[in-house]
Chains A and B, each alone.
Chain A
Amino acid sequence: MNRLRPGVLATLLSSLVALFLLMPLIAVVPVSFTSRRYLSLPNGDWSWRHYTALFGDPDWGSSLLTSVQVGVLASLLAVALAAAFCIGIWMLRPRGAGLMTGFVLLPMVAPPVVSSLTLYFFLNQLARWNSLVAYDKLGGVVLAHMVMIVPYAVVVIMVSLSQLDRRMDLAAQSMGASVPTRVFGVILPNIRFGLLGAFFLCFLLSWDEIGVTLFVTSVETITLPRRMWMGLRDNVDPAIAALSVLLILVVTVLVVIRAAMLMRKERRARGA
Chain B
Amino acid sequence: MRPVLFLICPVLLFLGASYLLPFLGIVQLSFTDPDPGLAQYGRVLTEDLPTGVIWRTLRLCVIVTAVSVSCAYVITLLWVRGSPLVRSITELCIMIPFWISVLSRAFGWLSMLSNRGLLNTWLQDLGLIDSAIQMTRNEFAVVVGMSHYLIPFAVFPLATAMRNVDERVLTAADGMGASRLRIFWQVFLPMTASGIMGATLLVFVFSIGFYVTPALLGGGQSVLVAELIYLWLFQIPQWGMAAAMSVVLMLGVGGILFILMRRYGEMAK
Contact = CB atoms under 8 A, between A and B. Distances in A.
B222 interface: no
Interface in B207-257: 208-209, 211-212, 215-216, 225-226, 229-230, 233, 242-243, 246, 249-250, 253, 257
A195 to B, nearest CB: 14
A244 interface: yes
A31 interface: yes
B36 interface: no
6 contacts: A11-B82, A114-B246, A119-B18, A208-B102, A240-B103, A244-B107
Interface stretch (A46-54, A57-65, A68-76, A81-89): A81-89
Nearest to B121: A41
B265 interface: no
A21 B246 CA distance: 31
Contact of A215 (B71, B170, B233): B233
B233 A117 contact: yes
Contacts of A248: 96, 100, 104
Contact of A4 (B26, B74, B183, B230): B183
Contact of B15 (A21, A41, A88, A104): A104
B47 to A, nearest CB: 19
B174 A4 contact: yes
Given A17-B75, A21-B93, A85 B18 contact: no
Interface in B110-145: 110-112, 114, 116-118, 121
Interface of B: 1, 3-8, 10-12, 14-15, 18-23, 25-26, 29, 71-72, 74-75, 77-78, 81-83, 86, 88-97, 99-112, 114, 116-118, 121, 148, 151-152, 167, 170-171, 174, 180, 183, 205, 208-209, 211-212, 215-216, 225-226, 229-230, 233, 242-243, 246, 249-250, 253, 257
Contacts of A4: 81, 167, 170-171, 174, 180, 183
Contacts of B89: 18
Contact of A255 (B15, B77, B96): B96
Contacts of B106: 232
A147 interface: yes
B116 A41 contact: yes
Contact of A118 (B22, B71, B101, B103): B22
A243 B103 CA distance: 11
A41 B8 contact: no
Given A4-B81, A10-B78, 4 more contacts: A91-B7, A116-B211, A147-B14, A248-B104
Contact of A252 (B26, B90, B96): B96
A197 interface: no
Contacts of A196: none
Contacts of B229: 113, 117
A24 B148 contact: yes
B81 A5 contact: yes
A89 to B, nearest CB: 6
Contacts of B71: 17, 20
